[in-house]
Chains A and B, each alone.
Chain A
Amino acid sequence: MLVARELTKSFPSGDRTITVLRDVSFTIADGEFVAIVGPSGSGKTTLLGLLAGLDAPSAGSVRLDDVDLATLSEDARARLRGAKVGFVFQSFQLIPTLTALENVRVPLDLRGDESAQSRATELLARVGLADRVHHYPVRLSGGEQQRVAIARAFVNSPSVLFADEPTGNLDQSTGLRIVELLEELNRDAGTTVVIVTHDTELAAHARRIIRLSDGLVVEDREHTA
């Protein structure tokens, strides 16, 4: 369960402060597939960062599985991410000096998990890249890179997966396949998926849509496709 309560985030800008998020509250239950949508600059990425504990809010709190992220140290938050959170980024964010397989292993390796090799191989097969395990990222197409990133996000069996514009750098059909993959994994593993997008068509795949505008939640509704 992921609970955001009255999240506010402001940045100092010169002598003023600009507030990017204002009193954002919602609860996301386990196994949900949620889309956060809104125009560019509305604060989606900022919100995602707060939910994942990458950044600290100016006010309000985030509770992940009944743990208040604000009470954790930076390293404890990192360990929590390693155990419960998966990430997919718009720009893929694979480590260029590691092969696909090595990239997928990283979260388990960081925990010292012995099953890293078999689990990573299994997940790469799952995303359809069984024949690309030893390729470096530069040798993979954008869609393939993003599938490696998804395999990496799922490798530690996270309870929540965050995806920030995961299709932003991909063409439409490839993007669609990525979202379908996320849906499939959400269905099969019961992982909570929070996806950020400005593409309403992709958002349509979600069962719940939270719409942001100028840092405010302007819509939060169940969605039935």
Chain B
Amino acid sequence: MTMRWRALVALAWRDTRTTRRRLVLSMSSIAIGVAALVAVDSYSANVVRSIHVQARSLLGADLSVSASRPLPAQVTALLDSLHARGATDTRVTTFSSMALVSGSEGTRLVQVRAMGAGAPYYGVIETSPADKWQDLQSGPYAIVDSSLLVALNANIGDTLSLGYARFAILATLRNVPGDIGIAASLGPRVYIPDRYLGATRLLTFGSRAQYEALVKLPSSVNPDALAKAHRDLFDSLQVRARSVADTERSLTRSIEQLGRFLGLVGLIALLLGGIGVASAMRAYMAEKIDTIAILRCLGASGSQVFAIYLIEAAGLGLAGAAMGVVLGVAAQMALPHVLGSFIPVDVTPQLEWIPVLGGLALGTWVGALFALGPVLGVRNVTPLQVLRRDTDDAAQRAARSPWRDPARLAAGAVLMASVVAVCMARAESAIFGLWMSVAIGAAIGATWLAAVACARGASRLATVPSRFVVRHGVANLERPGNQTRPVVLALGFGVFLLGTLALVQGSLLRELASTADASAANLAFFDVQTDQAFLLDTMLRQRDYPVLARVPIVPMRIAALASPRRAKSETRRETKGASPRASERPSWAIRREYRSSYRDSIAPSERLVAGHWWKTDGPDRDGVFEISLEQSLAEELGVVLGDTIAWDVQGVRIRTRVTSLREVQWTRFEPNFFVVFQPAALREAPQSFVLLTRVRDDAERAKLQRDAVQRFPNISTIDLSLIENAVGKILDRVSVAVRFMALFSVVTGALVLVSALAASRRQRVREGVLLKTLGATRGQIASMLLTEYALLGAIGSAAGIVLAVGGAWAAMHFIFQAQFALAPLPLAVVAVATMVLTVVIGLVAARDVFAETPMTALREV
């Protein structure tokens, strides 16, 4: 038996002798998909490994306890009690503030981190010049992001003002553990010693800050257990406790999520490659009919012949997968450059065996499965076909009627089941995986249908052109043995991916720009205290800048929710307990701090969707005020019109009833609110203000910010153009990463194209040479090829563009919930590039037509 298998393998190997290069080419389309998966999986395994090693540095402590207000006494008491067990702790306070440097012009919103002595306990903050971190605590010093120095045109040694305090800039940051590269573009960081925090006088009423205690525990105390033991206390006080293990878990989860998303792109590339393999294999098997018939004549059984080609298919799958693994490992080395700015740890790439072996297995399996369909066709070849010269016909018949062959149907079913299984295994949840495979199937199916429809349409039109060469080129699309479908599928999918990306990015950027137009305001002042509001208002008016809005903000929490119409067990939910039905989100919605406002009319960025806006101002007979909720928040809280909510406003309980729901256009620059109160409810509450103004000129705007900050050091300003820049930058980075992954699919598409054209190349060259003997000039042959390939490219682009517009619209509508904008230019660029690519690859594949003399037609037998 083994002997016989060995003979079959040898036969299979010899059988590929003249076509190995072409087969390798077709298998390389599998390789790209495998490469993408191996690269993404290996890199995310690398990152997870690094997270594990660096988790303590990321947190900077064994346990972190934080809250959005000063840590309550019970918590500090608990921390103190741990000292007895050998623990130490220190504080970190994080908030935004304006920074300015004496002697330079600008101001900049920065992230201030006031560090207690010893913080962080783990991980090294690298500075430039080196080793300045340990000097931070020795005086009023600051260590800042170098981007701040650039923005403020300042240097190390200059004096930085934060609020009412001044700091000497000691160094710039080179590397902070847990740092995500893009964070700095949102707000440069400024580290100061926490004993100077008071001097800044920045933490006034209403300013947002995070108060954190870093705890270092002796090895005898398990931080995870400690956090769990006091979970109830922390929860009731709205304090967040994170252990090293928590940090590791949540980071790992988000990395795996990123990996899954990017892996999806790899999976699509793999399937696309599989389709390419199937079409190349079909052409290959059609050529092999003669050989098979001869083998059958010489006594090979049907199953032996089948085994030979199955061995070839599996061998090719393995070869393609192996090629993919090598490429994937190489791409893994490139990924840090593309994704690095989203990754919170420093990653040293290393070989990951599980992704490598997994990729090898998956690639072989998918390659062999896709090749299986055409290979199954060989069972239909009879020895008689050696004698009858209708072999091509038999091959075409075998290739065309897979529907009536139960074995091929079964192979198709196994293929689909495998794809679904792979999707389900890679997805977060089985059901999501199922939907994912349905979506992938739908996208591929839609492109396929578009390919079929376009090819049919083209062949109908084939009688229209008056020039023979054009007509011939068009008609070739639907001729027997054509490669139109796989080519259009490959091209269409590439265009679909690239087009969707371009459109989504364009729409997002336009949305951003339209925000800038729609709201007249381009400068906002935050944390303006009640007594400052009037002064700032006057200052603006004196300089002829409009005060476009003066919006009060009142911080508060939910004290109790009540829903009179629901079952008794659910009617009251104190803030401590989560909703019995839902998981964490409602509990977060209940526990979070709200920054609400009050006014007597609805804002232009809002739309009433249920209930009515209050007409009077004041509580009802029971002392209950009216409020309006943003509709998705109402959904999350499980609140409907008429429900009552009690609020804790700085210790004062205010009872309210939901009388309207609003839809809010969050992308507008104006401050928007989840909860809006009747003015009477909050007018007397402690509050701060946001003032909006418009200053056209960049220099004037910078000067105004600086003057305001110098006069009122505690207030912050936000310049719309800076936000636009920052968001644009992030979008750029994201799109580079997504494009990098899309590239895999596009390259796969190109390879499918190349291998499909290579499969029909022999026939093409033969036909071209024959046409030459019949009187065709090289120009005529070139125009035929040009017509055919340009049309293929055009059909592929058209199918892809239609899908891209649909896909981008869906993405904008369902994911980003923003306006879809059709940008024809990027689509045109993608389409033209695709057509050029197709024509070039097609002409290169057929170049022998021009090289061969017509003499070969006489010699061909």
Residues of A with Cβ closer than 8 Å to B?
45, 48-49, 52, 54-55, 74-75, 78-83, 85, 87, 89-91, 93, 95-98, 106-107, 109-112, 136, 138-139, 142, 152, 156, 164
Contacts and interface: CB of A to CB of B under 8 A. Distances in A.
Given A54-B854, A54-B857, A89-B857, A81 B773 contact: yes
Interface string B355-389: 00000000000000000000000000000000001
B804 to A, nearest CB: 32
B780 interface: yes
B479 A106 contact: no
Nearest to B776: A110
Q: Give the interface centre of B479, B763, B854, B859 by most chain A CB atoms within 10 Å.
A: B854
B747 to A, nearest CB: 30
A48 B857 CA distance: 12
Interface stretch (B551-559, B621-629, B764-772): B764-772
B770 A95 contact: yes
B775 interface: yes
Given A97-B763, A136-B480, A110 B774 contact: yes
21 contacts: A49-B855, A52-B773, A54-B853, A54-B857, A74-B778, A78-B778, A83-B775, A89-B857, A89-B858, A89-B860, A93-B857, A95-B770, A95-B771, A96-B481, A97-B481, A109-B471, A110-B468, A111-B775, A138-B390, A142-B389, A152-B774
B279 to A, nearest CB: 17
Contact of A91 (B468, B471, B767, B860): B860
Given A45-B859, A49-B858, A89-B858, 9 more contacts: A55-B854, A79-B775, A81-B775, A82-B776, A85-B775, A91-B860, A93-B857, A96-B481, A164-B858
Q: Is the interface of A mostly helix, strand, loop or mixed?
A: helix
Interface range on chain B: under 10, 10 to 19, 20 to 34, or 35 or more?
35 or more
B776 A78 contact: yes
B212 to A, nearest CB: 74
B766 to A, nearest CB: 9
Contacts of A45: 858-859
A90 B858 CA distance: 8
A82 B775 contact: yes
Interface in B89-133: none
Closest 10 CB pairs of A and B: A82-B775, A109-B468, A97-B479, A75-B777, A138-B393, A54-B854, A55-B855, A81-B775, A54-B855, A138-B392
A106 B469 CA distance: 10
A58 B829 CA distance: 51
Contacts of A93: 770, 773, 857, 860
Nearest to B853: A55
Contacts of B767: 95, 97
A113 B689 CA distance: 85
B225 interface: no
Contacts of A74: 778
A172 to B, nearest CB: 18
Interface of B: 389-390, 392-393, 396, 467-469, 471-472, 476, 479-482, 763, 767, 770-780, 853-855, 857-861
Given A54-B858, A55-B853, A164-B858, A82 B774 contact: yes
Contacts of B482: 97
Nearest to A162: B858
A95 B772 CA distance: 12
Contact of A106 (B771, B777, B861): B771
A97 B390 CA distance: 14
Contacts of A107: 774-775
Given A79-B775, A91-B861, A112 B763 contact: no
Contact of A81 (B476, B774, B780, B859): B774
Contacts of A48: 858
A79 B859 contact: no
A168 B390 CA distance: 18
Contacts of A96: 392, 480-481, 763
Nearest to B395: A138
B345 to A, nearest CB: 58
Contact of A139 (B393, B853, B857): B393
A167 to B, nearest CB: 14
User: Looking at A82, A112, A142, A156, which has the most chain B CB atoms within 10 Å of its CB?
Assistant: A82
B626 to A, nearest CB: 77
A108 to B, nearest CB: 9
A90 B775 contact: no
A15 B491 CA distance: 48
A48 B858 CA distance: 9
Contacts of A106: 771, 774
A89 B469 CA distance: 24
B297 to A, nearest CB: 19
Contacts of A95: 767, 770-771
Contacts of B860: 89, 91, 93
A24 to B, nearest CB: 17
Q: Which of A45, A78, A107 neighbours the largest number of chain B CB atoms within 10 Å of its CB?
A: A78
A136 B397 CA distance: 14
B855 A90 contact: no
A85 B775 CA distance: 8
Nearest to A107: B774
B773 A54 contact: yes
Contacts of B775: 78-83, 85, 107, 110-111, 156
A75 B779 contact: yes
B391 to A, nearest CB: 8
Contacts of A156: 775
Name the residue among B393, B468, B481, B767 with the largest chain A CB count within 10 angstroms: B468
B771 A110 contact: yes
A139 B388 CA distance: 11
Contacts of A87: 773-774, 857
A54 B779 CA distance: 17
Contact of A97 (B471, B476, B778, B857): B476
Nearest to B472: A109
Contacts of B859: 45
B858 A78 contact: no
A152 B468 CA distance: 16
Contacts of B858: 45, 48-49, 54, 89, 164
Contacts of B481: 96-97
A80 B858 CA distance: 18
Contacts of B779: 75
Contacts of B469: 110
Contacts of A112: 467-468
Contacts of B480: 96-97, 136
A54 B468 CA distance: 23
A73 to B, nearest CB: 9
Contacts of B777: 75, 78-79
Contacts of B476: 97
Contacts of B774: 81-82, 87, 106-107, 110, 152
Contacts of A82: 774-776
A91 B469 CA distance: 25
A29 B30 CA distance: 61
A55 B852 CA distance: 11
Contacts of A139: 390, 393
A215 B510 CA distance: 78
Nearest to B780: A110
A91 B770 CA distance: 12
A49 B468 CA distance: 27
A136 B780 CA distance: 23
A96 B853 CA distance: 20
Nearest to A86: B774
A138 B396 CA distance: 10
A49 B780 CA distance: 22
A156 to B, nearest CB: 8
A87 B775 CA distance: 10
A6 B359 CA distance: 66
Nearest to B777: A75
Nearest to B389: A142
B763 A78 contact: no
A15 to B, nearest CB: 23
